[in-house]
Structure 1
Amino acid sequence: MELYPLKFQPKFHYRIWGGEKLKTVLNKEYTEENIGESWEISTVPNSETVLIGGELKGKTINELISSFGADFLGEVVYQRFGTEFPLLIKFIDAKTPLSIQVHPGDELAKKRHNSFGKNEMWYVLEAEENAELIVGLNKQLDKRSYVDLISKGAIEEAMNKINVNAGDTFYIPAGRVHAIGGGVLIAEIQQTSDVTYRIFDFNRVDKKTGAKRELHADLSVDAIDFNLVDNYKTQYDLGQTQNKLVHSNYFRTNILNINGEATISMSKKESFKILIGVEGNSEIIYKKENYFIKKGETILLPAGLNEPIVLSSTGCKLLEVFI
């Protein structure tokens, strides 16, 4: 069998803060309430996404890696990660704010959880009026002053709050405190990890359990990067078809601004690519087959494909993600 553009069945996750926009805006199909996350491409145990079309239908990413190796991942990715898929792709709908939280880096996550760390980025799809994100700190803290604020229940006063609009982009390296505010719909690209340290959860109760969610303030102390940053928002333009967005050691993301036809450059020696629809509609043409990408849909292009063509007669924006 040969590889082709791959679309997976999302895994939907209940969240205390979840709303309905994954359904009403992104046209996801589910029946549960308070679905906050749609995991589009995942190899996290018990949340593995399954291929939904073509001859390989029903396969998981791990099964595809086992069968196709570097032809699926790219030779450089295969040499670096072996059979571990390095990325997790999500859409997140925050009807109410997420907890204030932080993620450990690779070294600490490996030591404590035998996991990758969690470096991630956010691309804002929609934001209600006056919607906010928390990204980083607004004043200098150290471990001692941080613990003091936690003990007083006053950690919110040290959080850097930013009003956001559609198209805003933020890189959230491991160690940076953060939270998605209510009324924000985002696409999230991250390392394959489900390790989160909750610092503060606004004293709310989960209606499913009748209890407050567990906090991890003690674990978070050694994970936080207390350095301040002048500007947390990623600056970019849309002047070309392919425009640099976030490039890190963990993933690279460009934004494709397509009106007409564009070729997706592929290299078996390097990396697979993931395309995420964030505005408008498009289609991939590969070996005379058509694969559609609407806003809120995600397609994985194995590294061995021969330069698929993307068409959009009305204009679209896609996030292009690779290692």
Structure 2
Amino acid sequence: MPTSLSDPVGRYEKQPTVPLPAGARVLTGARAWAAAADAAVERAAGRSPLLVVDAYPGADLPLIAAAIGEALPQWTVVDVEDAAALPIEAIDARFADNLTDDRVFGVLSHADVDAFYDPERLAKLAVEADGDDRPLVLLGWGADLVARRTGAPYALVLADMARWEIQLRQRAGAPNWRAGNPDEDRLRKYKRGFFVEWRAADRHKRTLFDRVDFVLDANAIGAAAPAGREAGMITGDAFRAATANAARAPFRVVPFFDPGVWGGQWMKRKLDLDPSQPNYAWCFDCVPEENSLLLEDEEGAIVEIPSLDLVFTQPQALLGERTYARFGAEFPIRFDFLDTMEGGNLSLQVHPLTDYIQDRFGMHYTQDESYYLLDAGDDAVVYLGVKDGVDRDAMLEDLRTAESGDRPFEAEQYVNAFPAKKHDHFLIPAGTIHSSGANSMVLEISATPFIFTFKLWDWGRLGLDGVPRPVHLDHGERNLVWDRDREWTEANLVNRVEVLSSEDGVVEERTGLHELEFIEVRRHWFADEAAHDTEGTVNVLNLVEGDEVEIVSPTGAFAPYTVHYAETFIVPAAVGEYVIRRTERSRSDRFGTVKASVRGTRTGEA
């Protein structure tokens, strides 16, 4: 084991924030709802006022309704979901082909929110709302569907939630949207959200962003809400200005950490995490589908929104014209940590080929990835590619035998085990069998569709829930590329470092990824500073060496932004030129960053 495991490292910021525009304030409690009611009254222009609170599925509607009732006792609250949603049996039948019988994998739905509602009941509810002479609140996912049918003016509140918060609540017993499945396997809950509910919910809220009058932090409402934080509300104008500003300066999303059966101790000690936890396996430090942004006003009050809202509202400024044209409003690069220090091996796995993921699951690109070693023990290895001369049928038969529990799979009989040390980079194009061994700290740099991992062997372990973790040999067999043997793997996937320049104290290297993968990774070593340019596409970086740096604009376009060791940060395409330099507090002699971008999307690149 490296002696550095217990050594302290510079501060790792676990709650990074993005500033709200000057003068914007986070409203809470009765004051927030009074502001929303005032907006509805003003817009009504003498009619009965109508306030619409459209809530992302997973929001705690009873608590939101109670807060509204307490703050606005003269207003009538109508639960749109109770009044017009289809019975869960009808919803299940409608999406049976998307949900499938598999525990993990489904097929992406292209439905809109109105597919979850009875059109006749929606129309009836709209007529009733339009004829009601009382101040009225329409509450629930899709409440805007009813309001738009009334033809009446209204004020609109979006009660938004991040997917990670929804997952935490589901693990604690919350059901999927109206599903009545509190005790169901959490993987099946996640599958329902990922393939069906969140797809429709995201399509729906994208129609609201330009019109919304207020955004409510629904993450802070509920039994599982973060301690000590009131549910804040900001104006729609503040929300739009904050996301526009965030897309033009460096920022970080809020990282989240999770234990696992193979989890280790590196993050706990290096990043100052809860020492009472047995381990931490993952840290998702740049997964905008799941992460949050914390919007902070000048008094330190915070509203949490999904970081996907930034992707949806500012795709061209954030991603760049070419990346947006290629992927749409989707963040294609993911950075996360895999900690096996004093832990165990990851599962032996393979990711689907592009044709397979499109055909079977409806995803338009796959999870190509790589392992960058932030740290490694003396015995660390990365399993990668099949051994020379492997008997395909014998290997598959042994995998099936291992899955049945008759005997373990002898991985090193069939799979290469490459020694791994700090700052090594292993490239893993889809179709390549791979695993990170124990006693490694991996920065995983990959494409974003992270759910699509076909486990082939999990070393005979149970999950943290005491249930065997799912193995997908049928999928895996159809995606293993068998000619990626040791010779090919070593020549193409192991430490393919190319020095591009070395001048003025800065060394720039290309470390990958493989030509079959769309992500380009550059590493910069420097003592004082290194100049960069987004060249029209989003950059994702991690400080892999050194205690602290700051990101500055040569033109003063944004305030200096401080980054600490191991922190992942995003530099939007709109930033253009930027400099990474040591701060006055830095004590390190050398600094290193890895930077990922989408290959073929930089300005002037063919």
TM-score (norm 1): 0.90
- CA separation of 1:112 and 1:189: change in aligned 2, threshold 3 A: same
Corresponding residue of 2:51? none
Corresponding residue of 1:96? 344
Contact 1:155 1:200 in 2 (8 A): no
1:144, CA displacement in angstroms?
2.8
- CA separation of 1:163 and 1:229: change in aligned 2, threshold 3 A: closer
Correspondences of 1:55-94 after superposition (within 5 Å): 58-94=304-340
- Using the alignment, how far apart are the partners of 1:252 and 1:103 within structure 2? 19
Q: What do the CA deviations read for 1:5-41 (whole angstroms, capped 9, x no partner)?
A: 1111112222111122112124456864332111111
- Using the alignment, how far apart are the partners of 1:171 and 1:81 within structure 2? 22
- Using the alignment, how far apart are the partners of 2:320 and 2:349 within structure 1? 33
Corresponding residue of 1:16? 261
Corresponding residue of 1:38? 283
Corresponding residue of 1:188? 444
- Using the alignment, how far apart are the partners of 1:90 and 1:73 within structure 2? 19
> Would you tell me which structure has more strand in proportion to its own residues?
1
Q: Do structure 1's residue 51 and structure 2's residue 301 form an aligned pair?
A: no
- CA separation of 1:57 and 1:6: change in aligned 2, threshold 3 A: farther
- CA separation of 1:155 and 1:111: change in aligned 2, threshold 3 A: farther
Match of 2:356 among 105, 108, 126: 108
Corresponding residue of 2:494? 233
Structure 1 unmatched runs, 5+: none
Q: Do structure 1's residue 276 and structure 2's residue 542 form an aligned pair?
A: yes
Corresponding residue of 1:200? 457
- CA separation of 1:59 and 1:250: change in aligned 2, threshold 3 A: farther
- CA separation of 1:118 and 1:30: change in aligned 2, threshold 3 A: farther
- Using the alignment, how far apart are the partners of 1:61 and 1:209 within structure 2? 29
Match of 1:121 among 370, 373, 378: 370
Instruction: State the structure with more CA Rg.
Output: 2
Q: More relative contact order in 1 or in 2 (CA 8 Å, sep 6+)? A: 1
1:165, CA displacement in angstroms?
0.7
SS in 2 for 1:145: helix
Q: Do structure 1's residue 259 and structure 2's residue 527 form an aligned pair?
A: yes
SS in 1 for 2:524: strand
Q: Which amino acid aligns with 1:173?
A: P
> Size of the alignment, in residue pairs?
317
- Using the alignment, how far apart are the partners of 2:397 and 2:457 within structure 1? 14
Corresponding residue of 2:552? 285
Corresponding residue of 1:242? 508
Q: What do the CA deviations read for 1:108-164 (whole angstroms, capped 9, x no partner)?
A: 112222233110011101111111110111133465333223234445110101111
Contact 1:27 1:296 in 2 (8 A): no
Q: What do the CA deviations read for 1:223-265 (whole angstroms, capped 9, x no partner)?
A: 1010124214123266633211114442111001121122211
Contact 2:387 2:486 in 1 (8 A): no
Match of 2:579 among 298, 309, 312: 309
Which region of structure 1 is more displaced relative to structure 2, 189-198 or 305-314? 305-314
> Would you tell me which structure has more helix in proportion to its own residues?
2
Q: What do the CA deviations read for 1:154-208 (whole angstroms, capped 9, x no partner)?
A: 45110101111101111001010011111000111111112111111111223x3
- CA separation of 1:236 and 1:142: change in aligned 2, threshold 3 A: same
Corresponding residue of 2:210? none
Corresponding residue of 1:172? 428
1:59, CA displacement in angstroms?
4.2
SS in 1 for 2:360: helix
TM-score (norm 2): 0.50
- Using the alignment, how far apart are the partners of 2:511 and 2:417 within structure 1? 22
